[in-house]
Amino acid sequence: MGKGPFFFRRSASRRRQRKIVIPSESPPPPHLSPLGSAMIAGGGAISITKVKKKAGGARLWMRFDRTGRTELVELDKNAIIRHAAIPARDLRILGPVFSQSSHILAREKAMVVNLEFIKAIVTAEDVLLLDPLRREVLPFVEHLRQQLRHKYQPKLSGPAGEQESEMQVSDGRQWLPVPESTEGLQSELPFEFQVLEIALEVVCTSLESSVEDLERDAYPVLDDLARNVSTKNLEHVRSLKSNVTRLLAQVQKVRDEIEHLLDDNEDMAQLYLTRKWLQNQQLDAHVGATPSNHPASIRQIGSKRSGSLVNFTFGEENDVEDLEMLLEAYFMQLDGSRNKILSVREYIDDTEDYVNIQLDNHRNELIQLQLTLIIASFAISIENLLAGTFGMNIPCSLYEVQGLFWPFVWTTNAGSLILFLLIMAYARSIKLLGP
C-alpha cells in the first residue's frame, strides 16, 4: 500500500533533546517570551532545554544555579524526585490542588517553597522554579537572577599551600571553598536563604501593594455609603468586603507559616541546606583520606555525620540566628499588613453599624408617621360615624329645625380635631412619639 503525497518521515535527530544557548549580545528571537527578552537585556545567557514530555506529563521549570545562570527545562515528577531527593507527596503541594496554601518544608537535600504564586524547590546548589512565565513570577525571576549574580561570587582555590588565606577541603574532584571566618558568613547568607529572602520579599511586596490599593479604594467607598445608602454603594461595599476577606486570608497563610517555623528551632535548622551539604562533602573527603586499615577512625568519622564537621564555618547545628532574624523581619512586615487589613475591616464594620443606625432611625420615623395617621383616621372616623347616623332616612325632629346644618358640621369637625390632639398628647406623654 503506497504512501500518500504528504507523508514525511520523522528524522531520528528530531526526537533527540535539543539545547539552544542564546548569547547576551544577540537580539532576542521573536518566539522568546518577555521573560527571556528581559533576561537577555539584563545580561547573561539563557539555556533553553526542550525535553520530550513523558506519559505522566512534564511541566515547565526554570533552573537557577548559584551564580544566577538560568535554564528553562521541562521535567516530569520522576526527574524532579531524583534531582532534589524529595518524596512524591511534596510535589502535590506545588500542584493546583494545594496552590492556595503556603508551605516552607525542609527535606534532607532540598527545601520546598510554596508562597502564593512562587512555587520552587531549592537545593544547596540550584533552584527549580515552577511556571516561571507567569506575570506574577517575573519580578521574582529577574530579582533572583540579578541578586545571585551580584552577591554570590564562587571562589576556586589553587594549590594546598594557600591554606593560610583560605581554608579549603578537597574531595579528589574539586576544591570546596570555605569562608575565612564566621564574620564573612554573617554578612553573606547561604544560597538557600538568599532564595528564600527574595521569595519572601517579592511575596510581601505584592501583598503590601495589594493592601495599599485596598486602603486607597476602601475609605472613599465607605464614606459614600455613609452619606448615601444606595444600591450602587452597597454593591461596592459588598465587593470590598470580599476583597478584604481574600487578602486577609492570603496574608494570614504566609504569616502563619513563618510563625510555625519561628516556633520550631529544629525545622529552622533543617533549612540550612548549605551547612548539611558541606558537612557531607567534608565527611566524604575525610573518609577518602582515612586509610582503610583504620576502622576505628572511620567509625569515629561516621559517628560525626549527625554532628558538625564545619563548626568553624557555620557554627553549631542548633544555631539558627541568621534564619530567625530573616524570618522575624518578614513576619513583622506581614503582621503590619495584617493589621492594616484588620483596620479596614473594622472601618467597614463601623460604617455598617452607622448605616444600620440610620436605617433604624428612618424606620422609627416611619412608625411614628404611621401612628400619627392612625390617630387622625380614628378622629375622622368618629365624625363619619355621626354624619352617617344623621344621614339615615329616620324621622327626627332635628331635621325640621332651620339653620342647624352648618353648626352641626363645624361642631363635629371641632370635636374630631380635639379628639386627635388629645390622643397625640397622650402618645407623646408615654414616649410613643418623638419630641
What's residue 155's pLDDT? 46
User: For residue 118, what are the β-bridge partners?
Assistant: 115
What's residue 322's pLDDT? 87
What's residue 406's pLDDT? 85
Is the pLDDT at 278 greater than 70? The verdict is yes
According to the per-residue pLDDT averaged within each range, which of 44-53, 119-128, 312-321, 425-434 is highest?
Answer: 119-128
Is the pLDDT at 183 greater than 90? The verdict is no
pLDDT digits (tens, 9 = 90+) for 70-84: 888 888 888 888 888
What's residue 320's pLDDT? 83
More confident of the two residues 236 and 169: 236
What's residue 184's pLDDT? 40
Judging by beta carbons within 10 Å of its beta carbon (0-12, 13-18, 19+), is residue 323 exposed, middle or buried? buried
What's residue 255's pLDDT? 94
Using only C-alpha atoms, the chain has a radius of gyration, in whole angstroms, of 40
Judging by beta carbons within 10 Å of its beta carbon (0-12, 13-18, 19+), is residue 349 exposed, middle or buried? exposed
What's residue 144's pLDDT? 87
What's residue 151's pLDDT? 62
**Predicted structure pTM score:** 0.67
The strand pair at 110-115 and 18-22 is best described as unpaired
Residue type, 2: G
What's residue 189's pLDDT? 80
| Interval 142-160 mean pLDDT | 64
Is the pLDDT at 148 greater than 50? The verdict is yes
| Interval 350-367 mean pLDDT | 92
Q: What is the mean pLDDT of the chain?
A: 75
Report d(CA 280, CA 288) in Å as an integer: 12
The H or E element spanning position 338 is helix 321-390
Lowest mean pLDDT among 11-20, 128-137, 164-173, 238-247: 164-173
Tell me how far CA of residue 195 lies from CA of 4, 147, 264, 341, in angstroms.
Answer: 55, 9, 21, 28
Report d(CA 304, CA 161) in Å as an integer: 27
Share above pLDDT 70 across residues of the chain, in percent, rounded to a whole number:
69
Per-residue confidence band for 317, with pLDDT thresholds at 50, 70 and 90:
low
More confident of the two residues 293 and 24: 293
According to the per-residue pLDDT averaged within each range, which of 167-171, 319-323, 372-376 is highest?
Answer: 372-376
Which strands form 46-50's sheet, in the order they lie side by side? 18-22, 46-50, 70-75, 59-65, 126-130, 118-123, 110-115, 103-106
Is the pLDDT at 149 greater than 60? The verdict is yes
Report d(CA 106, CA 122) in Å as an integer: 10
Is the pLDDT at 21 greater than 60? The verdict is no
pLDDT digits (tens, 9 = 90+) for 63-72: 988 887 888 8
What's residue 382's pLDDT? 87
According to the per-residue pLDDT averaged within each range, which of 160-164, 188-192, 247-251 is highest?
Answer: 247-251
Is the pLDDT at 52 greater than 60? The verdict is no
Is the pLDDT at 285 greater than 60? The verdict is yes
Report d(CA 306, CA 318) in Å as an integer: 12
Per-residue confidence band for 288, with pLDDT thresholds at 50, 70 and 90:
low
Is the pLDDT at 357 greater than 60? The verdict is yes
**Alpha carbon 161 to chain centroid, angstroms:** 52
According to the per-residue pLDDT averaged within each range, which of 277-291, 332-346, 385-399 is highest?
Answer: 332-346
Q: What is the DSSP track for 166-178?
A: S-EEE-SS-EEE-
Is the pLDDT at 26 greater than 80? The verdict is no
